[in-house]
Amino acid sequence: MRKNPFWSGFVVGSLLMAATVAVLWYKVAGIGDQSYDQLELVDLNGKRLDMAQFADRPLVVDYWATWCKPCIEEFEEFETVSQRPGNKVAFLMISDDPLPRAAKFARAKKYSFVFGVSKVPLKLGVRPITLFYDQEHELQTQHTGSMEKARLLEYLKEIE
């Protein structure tokens, strides 16, 4: 019995397509090996960001940009959640926008969370990307795209 070449080509093509999609997803939507503790961050005044302020607390790290509308929209949700009574989770918002632009935005909105600005461009294909670290700062989960309050609260249950 002779094999149909169509099906062999179809299977090989499908496998190649799946591999390509997986690689692109990792490159575009994932953060890869770039973590907040590997970045050289400054605060809104241009001084080195003191990471000790996050010690022994669960941490939410959000990668954002001033040009990213979904990033800006979800800040209201982050602010509401961060102001909950008894909140022990720290929020760090990291951008690679030029310092004056990021500082102007952050100061105009008067959010309560900490802003950090990366001195080097972030290697991200999409924003926002939010990472959730437990008290020992072990990554528990990450979320790509904008997030509503209910989803944010679900993620926080995993790290509190």
Asked if 35 contacts 67 with a C-beta cutoff of 8 angstroms, the reply is: no
How confident is the model at residue 21, as a pLDDT? 53
pLDDT digits (tens, 9 = 90+) for 19-45: 555 544 444 445 554 567 777 899 999
How confident is the model at residue 15, as a pLDDT? 66
* CA 48 to centroid of chain Cα atoms: 20
How confident is the model at residue 148, as a pLDDT? 92
- Any idea which fold 36-159 has? Glutaredoxin (3.40.30)
How confident is the model at residue 18, as a pLDDT? 62
User: pLDDT (tens digit, 0 to 9) for every residue of the chain, 160 residues total?
Assistant: 566 777 777 776 776 666 555 544 444 445 554 567 777 899 999 999 988 899 889 999 999 999 999 999 999 999 999 998 888 999 999 999 999 999 999 999 889 999 999 988 888 888 999 999 999 988 999 999 999 999 999 999 999 8
The Cβ of residue 107 has, within 10 Å, a number of other Cβ atoms equal to 11
* Domain spans in the chain, listed from the N-terminal domain onward: 1-30, 36-159
How confident is the model at residue 16, as a pLDDT? 66
H helices of 4-124, where?
5-29, 69-82, 99-109
How confident is the model at residue 2, as a pLDDT? 64
The residue assigned the tokens 């993620």 is 155
| pTM for this entry | 0.78
Helix (H, G, I), strand (E, B) or coil at 89: coil
How confident is the model at residue 120, as a pLDDT? 85
